[in-house]
Amino acid sequence: MAALDSYQYTAEDLKSPQEVRWCPGCGNHAVLNAVRKALIELGMPREQYVFVSGIGCSSRFPYYMNTYGFHGIHGRAAAIASGICIANPGLSVWQITGDGDALAIGGNHFIHVIRRNINMNILLFNNQIYGMTKGQYSPTSEKGLVTRTSPFGTIEKPFSVGELVMGGQGTFFARTADYNMSLSTGIYVEAARHRGTSVVEVLQNCVIFNDGIHDVVTGREVRDERTIVLRHGQPMIFGKEGDKGLVLDGYRLKVVKIGENGISAGDILVHDKKEADPAIHYLLAAMRYPEYPVALGVIRSVEGKTYEDGLEEQITDIRKGAEIKSADDLLNSGPVWETGH
Amino acid sequence: MAKSVKVVSKEKAVILFSGDSGDGMQLTGTLFSDSAAHYGNDLITFPDYPAEIRAPQGTVGGVSGFQIHLGNSVIDSPGDSADVLVAMNPAAIRANASRVKAGAIVIYDRDNFTSRNIEKAGYTADPVAEEKLENCKVIAVPVSSMVKEALQDSGLDSRLVLRTKNMFVLGMVYWLFDRKLNFTEEFFDTKFADRPEIAKANKTVLRAGYDYAGSLEELAPVISIAPAGLPPGRYRNINGNTATAWGFMAAAEKAGLDLFVGSYPITPATGILEEFAARRDLGVRTFQAEDEIAGMCAALGAAFAGSLAVTSTSGPGLALKSEAIGLAVMAELPVVIVNVQRGGPSTGLPTKTEQADLMQALYGRNGESPVVVLAAGSPSDCFRFAYEAARIALEHMTPVILLTDGYLANGSEPWKIPEMKDLPPIQPPFASQDEQPFMPYRRNSSTLVRSWAVPGTAGLEHRIGGLEKTPEGIVSYSPENHESMVRLRAGKIARVLEKVPDLQVYGEDSGDLLLAGWGGSGGYIVSAVKELQSEGFSVSFANFNYINPLPGNVREVFSRFRKIAVAELNTGQFAAWLRSQCGGFGYEQINKVQGLPFTTKEIREKCLKILEDI
């Protein structure tokens, strides 16, 4: 094993020789930088990382990391990554995907990897559009969006990433925005340290085909009022003045103003990402503008046995006292007989 | 058995157990064949069952059959027609009357020949008369009544009592073939160790059937088939799916690799996944994927991570996997895709056999996408070719498609158990950490194989994927680079030839007619060829197991015959492959697409016709 200090990388150490070919101004550049920062903070040897992707703009990501990387086929990165995780549970496996790759063609693999709780990190770049094929609507496009394949507006309701994760009994869900380097870096580090499937939705801007799609929520002027950064153990407070908060009103969340209608700071919900019951996490993940602020931060992070641990335990258990220990044992098991002796 | 019973010796016989899909015919046939194999006969079995788990009772569509061909010398196929037919209901007569030899013994369950069942099978009155089975030795047995009588003191309810009916007829057939019951009795003692009353009931009924047969004058004489004198060694009975799974386990152990299996259940390949799943004791990592695509992709991920990776499927599943197989071609990773062929296209005939996925295996991907294609020739041969498929995949860094079929998957035969020390070594081309800078597509100059750098290895970090790359692993759309890489990938597959043994000819090395077969239909063809040769015809036979690349001596072998006829269970896919790879011969074709194997008679008749024209 190499000396520990050799894992203290610089961003330069994590750059591959491949030229980065995303459009200037694309949100992906910031995500790439934040992920490199996260890896520096994690301090693991770079040969332990595997970046796996499908097809789409975000899926070029593995080419730009000086780690192991596998650029797969459309929608299938979760399945490829599952094989890598199960074959070698010691690796740190990252799936880089987009809203089309993960939720349209790859929707089946996405829900099943979450259900199995395979120990990998899924960074889902959500720009609500197909960029690589030049601007068609995606499964997360808002209803009514006019695109090249919906010239009269879409007639489909969008998927919400967080709700799918909760539906798949996910153990980790976080949301961040491409421009927010410090929030993103912290979330990627936490996602990597979580044992199980960590899904991070990145609100990412496609500068060419869907420019500014998140601005209504995350634009510089409005983001304090229209987003809330959730921190474990902290009250759910937001707003430029820090005067707004979330309370539970019956079965629903409600936005309140502290100091109005008898609401005090003590009435505001305190975030508990470790709560096993996903009900509140679901409500938080599902919050949409304009009724609610959009939640950023780690919304859910609970313990759950990983698929790999379950499998390794089963193998270890069954090997104890097993009669068949080798291929020769197997071939000679059950009814066998000798002839010619 | 009473000493006065007459015994006749025979060289071989075909027994067909047939009944409703709930009558336990598959178990009955398996028990008889295990017992016969243990006795020393050579044999091949052919289970034939409907796709529905319980098709409507008493209908022809619900008939499940198990055919056993046993003999005192080498047996090549399950046989064309039955010397003994056991029919548990009228529908079983309807389904099999045309497959009964003149003079055969037909044992049927008289209690089940009710007017309702007779009508359901499409008869008006007496099935035996309507099928003109008068020239057979027809034995009507009140099986249900006899079973009830035998178990009247057992305390079991009538449902459990009647479930032992198959053991009554098995006991009768054991008597008919002069077999001992102990092998089957031990099976029940083991299987129902915790339910001794069930073991006892089955053994009681088995014995009752045996004794009843001995009391029937019209069933005699007893048929004696001597042991086959197989080469000395240790044997077991094995079916194709089990042999396939075991071949990969042997290969993983030999290569010193973990075995990863990503599969989705599909008939008739499911048995392979089940065999793997049972082997946690050997550390097999099975992953029952959410779909066929995920099975293939997970296998590919495991291959990238350094495991021996396998996915098993049937035709519709192979279609779903094709894009990911293309990725395996591009990424140049070792993975084996087992395709247990069934009748197609689409869902087709899920439980029936066919060889119509050859073109899909060879060409069913976008772009220039060559893979190695192998085909196993008999149920036990699946072990050898699974091992070989793994060896080629690992040593040549390529996907390999192994073709078996429904007949091989479910059919079984005695198998001389190999020893691990005798199997060839498997040496994957792992990259050395000294290869700096590491280039993923740098190749061995003689084999064109790239080296395998496994995640976790310091200094060999690299990126691969579906986009075209330069040898350094950089994405490239250069026209010259693309053509060069396309030709290199093809050249790499062509150079697998170093592992392909020469084509062997059964019979004379030259002559009038060479029958060419491939994969699982070889056994049927060789039975016909043996007959023709014994009658003095100049007919030889060659079975192909290496489809891509083909053996190096094909042209030379073919040129020594006046005619070549390609026999296969499709409309001519291998013939087309030979025409494209080895042109200049006027290939005749013998084809069948009925979801059933060839019969010896069919091959023989087609050969005689071809020979007439010479």
Give the domain CATH number at A60.
3.40.50.970
- Say if residue B4's pLDDT is above 90: no
pLDDT for A6? 59
Q: What is the DSSP string of B194-262?
A: T-HHHHHHHHHHHHHHHHHHHH-GGGPSEEE-----PPSEEEEEEEHHHHHHHHHHHHHHHHT--EEEE
| Whether A243 and A95 share a structural domain | no
Structure tokens at B163: 């479930």
| Whether A116 and A249 share a structural domain | no
Structure tokens at B215: 């009391």
Locate all alpha helices (DSSP H) within chain A, ordered by sequence. 28-42, 77-87, 99-100, 107-116, 161-167, 181-193, 215-218, 223-226, 279-286, 307-319, 327-331
Task: With CB atoms and an 8 Å threshold, state whether A339 touches B289.
Answer: no
Shortest distance, CA A188 to any CA of chain B (angstroms): 21
**A77, part of any domain:** yes
| Whether A199 and A60 share a structural domain | yes
Task: With CB atoms and an 8 Å threshold, state whether A340 touches B465.
Answer: no
| Whether A153 and A255 share a structural domain | no
Q: How confident is the model at residue B445 (pLDDT cuts 50, 70, 90)?
A: very high
Higher pLDDT, B613 or A289: A289
pLDDT for B215? 95
pLDDT for B226? 96
Q: Tell me what the pLDDT averaged over chain B comes to.
A: 95
| Whether A246 and A221 share a structural domain | no
DSSP B159: H
**A313, part of any domain:** no
| Whether A115 and A201 share a structural domain | yes
Chain A partners within 8 Å of B229 (Cβ): 339
| Whether A196 and A279 share a structural domain | yes
- In CATH terms, are B236-422 and B511-612 the same topology? yes
Kindly list the distances between the CA atom of residue B58 and the CA atoms of A308, B27, B90, B112, B596, in Å, as whole numbers in the listed order: 47, 19, 7, 9, 22
What is the Cα–Cα distance from B282 to B268, expressed in whole angstroms? 24
Shortest distance, CA B361 to any CA of chain A (angstroms): 20
Task: With CB atoms and an 8 Å threshold, state whether B475 touches A18.
Answer: yes
Strand partners, B539: B513
Q: How confident is the model at residue B485 (pLDDT cuts 50, 70, 90)?
A: very high
What is the Cα–Cα distance from B345 to A22, expressed in whole angstroms? 43
Chain B partners within 8 Å of A335 (Cβ): 34, 38, 183, 236-237
Shortest distance, CA B246 to any CA of chain A (angstroms): 8
What is the Cα–Cα distance from A239 to B598, expressed in whole angstroms? 79
Say which of A76, A311, A326 has its CB closest to residue B297: A76
Task: With CB atoms and an 8 Å threshold, state whether B464 touches A45.
Answer: no
**What are residue B200's phi and psi, to 5 degrees?**
-65, -45
- Say if residue B107's pLDDT is above 50: yes
User: For B372-412, how does the pLDDT look when each residue is reduced to its tens digit (9 = 90+)?
Assistant: 999 999 999 999 999 999 999 999 999 999 999 999 999 99
**A325, part of any domain:** no
- CA gyration radius, chain B: 26
Bridge-based pairing state of the strands A244-249 and B100-109: unpaired
Shortest distance, CA B260 to any CA of chain A (angstroms): 7
User: For B171-203, how does the pLDDT look when each residue is reduced to its tens digit (9 = 90+)?
Assistant: 999 999 999 999 999 999 999 999 999 999 999
Q: What's the fold here for domain B511-612?
A: Rossmann fold (3.40.50)
Total domain count, chain A: 2
**A318, part of any domain:** no
Higher pLDDT, B4 or B537: B537
Over residues B583-610, mean pLDDT: 95
- Say if residue B496's pLDDT is above 90: yes
Over residues B304-316, mean pLDDT: 98
Say which of A17, A66, A84 has its CB closest to residue B474: A17
Dihedral of alpha carbons B350, B354, B360, B362, sign: positive
Dihedral of alpha carbons B317, B323, B324, B329, sign: positive
Pick the residue of A55, A65, A339, A341 with the most B CBs within 10 A to test the interface with B by mutation.
Answer: A339
pLDDT for B1? 47
Over residues B563-589, mean pLDDT: 97
Domain ranges of chain B: 7-224, 236-422, 511-612
Task: With CB atoms and an 8 Å threshold, state whether B235 touches A336.
Answer: yes
**A263, part of any domain:** yes
What is the Cα–Cα distance from B607 to A12, expressed in whole angstroms? 72
User: For B54-76, how does the pLDDT look when each residue is reduced to its tens digit (9 = 90+)?
Assistant: 778 899 999 999 999 999 999 99
pLDDT for A5? 52
Pick the residue of A7, A58, A84 with the most B CBs within 10 A to test the interface with B by mutation.
Answer: A84
| Whether A61 and A128 share a structural domain | yes
Structure tokens at B375: 């085909």
**A16, part of any domain:** yes
| Whether A160 and A256 share a structural domain | no
pLDDT for A335? 85
| Whether A127 and A195 share a structural domain | yes
Instruction: Provide the ipTM.
Output: 0.97
Q: How many CB pairs under 8 A join A and B?
A: 213
User: For B76-99, how does the pLDDT look when each residue is reduced to its tens digit (9 = 90+)?
Assistant: 999 999 999 999 999 999 999 999
CB B260 within 8 A of CB A86: yes
Chain B partners within 8 Å of A85 (Cβ): 301
Give the CATH number of domain B236-422: 3.40.50.970
- Owning domain of residue A248: 239-270
CB A213 within 8 A of CB A129: yes
pLDDT for A186? 98
CB B448 within 8 A of CB B491: yes
| H or E stretch covering B396 | helix B381-396
* DSSP3 helix / strand / coil % (chain B, rounded to 5): 40, 25, 35
**What are residue A68's phi and psi, to 5 degrees?**
-75, 145
**A335, part of any domain:** no
Question: Going by C-beta distance under 8 Å and a sequence separation of 6 or more, which residues neighbour residue B529?
Answer: B506, B507, B515, B539, B540, B541, B603, B607
Give the CATH number of domain B7-224: 3.40.920.10
| Whether A157 and A142 share a structural domain | yes
Over residues B23-35, mean pLDDT: 94
- Say if residue B125's pLDDT is above 50: yes
Task: With CB atoms and an 8 Å threshold, state whether A86 touches B298.
Answer: yes
| Whether A212 and A249 share a structural domain | no
Q: How confident is the model at residue B22 (pLDDT cuts 50, 70, 90)?
A: confident
Task: With CB atoms and an 8 Å threshold, state whether A86 touches B285.
Answer: yes
**A321, part of any domain:** no
Chain B partners within 8 Å of A18 (Cβ): 463, 474-475
List per-residue pLDDT tens for chain A, 341 residues long. 444 455 789 999 999 999 999 999 999 999 999 999 999 999 999 999 999 999 999 999 999 999 999 999 999 999 999 999 999 999 999 999 999 999 999 999 999 999 999 999 999 999 999 999 999 999 999 999 999 999 999 999 999 999 999 999 999 999 999 999 999 999 999 999 999 999 999 999 999 999 999 999 999 999 999 999 999 999 999 999 999 999 999 999 999 999 999 999 999 999 999 999 999 999 999 999 999 999 999 999 999 999 999 999 999 999 999 999 999 999 999 889 888 64
pLDDT for B51? 78
Which amino acid, one-letter code, is at A24?
Answer: P
